[in-house]
Amino acid sequence: MKSILFASLDKNSGKTTVELAIAMASGKKIGYMKPFGDNPIYKEKKVVDHDAMLFKEIFKIEAGLDEMCLGLHHSKILHFYKNIEEELVEKYNKLSEGKELFIIESGEFLWKGKSIGLDAFSIADSLDAKIIFVLSGEHYEVMDELSYIADLKEERIEGIILNKARGDEVDRMEGKAKEYGIDFLGYVPYIEELKAMRVSYIAEKLFAKVVAGEKGIEKDIENVFIAALSAPEIRRHPDFKKRKKLIITGGDRADVITACLEEGTSCIVLTNNIVPSTNILAKANEKEIPLLSVRSDTYTTAKLVENIQPVILSHEKEKLEIIEEAGKRHLDMNKILG
């Protein structure tokens, strides 16, 4: 069995997408753990890590999420485990039994969890895993990351994978990686379909209550519009004409909510924990446009939504097929699995 830890220097590098591409393209029996969770969602009255849950569902991993992820906060991990490294190794040994390829996802930054021994290098040392860096971003940002990785001179580093690659970036980055003496293990191209998010995921990330329109919970979201104007002005706004949009407005703004309950709206987030009248709820149910009620004010909610990164859900078969094909076509699986 080969164990690979995936690390990054940028929290939006897309480690999970690359891990899925490798796991699905490999055809092997997959094991997975994310010792330090950093992508919380609310699921069945629990806060869990989305990435751990995703791998559990896709690869039918029987272990519980508490075995795949020690926790999402330093304080909770320190509270529950007296010897964190011992617990990490014990869970890994159990999770890796009978597996052919074991994937370990580090935190959003290389140093995340360093104070409790759960940063990327500490985990790799504890579990005797190889390290692959996932890089993405603007050209010179990736160049900086390449240079930094080269200076680490860490024997466990097997190479890099470029994610969200466009145009001639691949050839340039492959050439630069060779100059630095770093193995280039392939790339995953920019995938337009991965931009869209599902209403259900937004609801989980915001810990929102679905008060109406639940039948539309799996609609796609590609645009966000903050409805802070009057209803007539909102209708004239160019952003309101965009399709597949999430709208954020106060739960007490009945005129705005009514104006937004029309084709092109994927969902409406109602702020300040205010639920509108029953006739508006009935209209949302009729049009199958989810109304998500949250406690926070409009400004805070808008900032929260802005920080939500698109993810893959286990039932999004089209996305998963595209990712798997990208892995088979553009990743050097022989080097990665060798």
- Looking at the fold, whether 150 and 270 belong to one and the same domain comes out as no
pLDDT band at 256; cut points 50, 70, 90: very high
Domain count, the chain: 2
Strands 209-212 and 220-221: unpaired
- Looking at the fold, whether 259 and 318 belong to one and the same domain comes out as no
pLDDT in tens, 48-89: 999 999 999 999 999 999 999 999 999 999 999 999 999 999
- Looking at the fold, whether 190 and 322 belong to one and the same domain comes out as yes
- Looking at the fold, whether 215 and 123 belong to one and the same domain comes out as no
Residues 6+ away with beta carbon under 8 Å from 138: none
Cβ atoms of residues 105 and 18 within 8 Å: no
Instruction: State if pTM tops 0.95.
Output: no
The C-alpha atoms of residue 58 and residue 54 are separated, in whole angstroms, by: 6
- Looking at the fold, whether 261 and 330 belong to one and the same domain comes out as no
- Looking at the fold, whether 140 and 263 belong to one and the same domain comes out as no
- Looking at the fold, whether 103 and 67 belong to one and the same domain comes out as yes
Query: Which CATH number do you get for residue 284?
Result: 3.40.1390.20
Query: Which CATH number do you get for residue 130?
Result: 3.40.50.300
Segments forming the whole domain that contains residue 71:
2-194+313-337
What does the pLDDT read at residue 128? 97
- Looking at the fold, whether 136 and 217 belong to one and the same domain comes out as no
Cβ atoms of residues 65 and 53 within 8 Å: yes
Q: What is the 3-state secondary structure (H, E, C) of 128-165?
A: CCEEEEEECCCHHHHHHHHHHHHHHCCCCEEEEEEEEE
- Looking at the fold, whether 96 and 178 belong to one and the same domain comes out as yes
- Looking at the fold, whether 95 and 123 belong to one and the same domain comes out as yes
- Cβ-based burial of 328 (10 A; exposed 0-12, middle 13-18, buried ≥19): middle
What does the pLDDT read at residue 167? 81
If you ran DSSP here, which 8-state letter would residue 310 be given? P
Determine how many CB atoms are found less than 10 A away from the CB of residue 80. Answer: 12
- Looking at the fold, whether 78 and 164 belong to one and the same domain comes out as yes
The C-alpha atoms of residue 4 and residue 181 are separated, in whole angstroms, by: 20
Q: Is the pLDDT of residue 168 over 90?
A: no
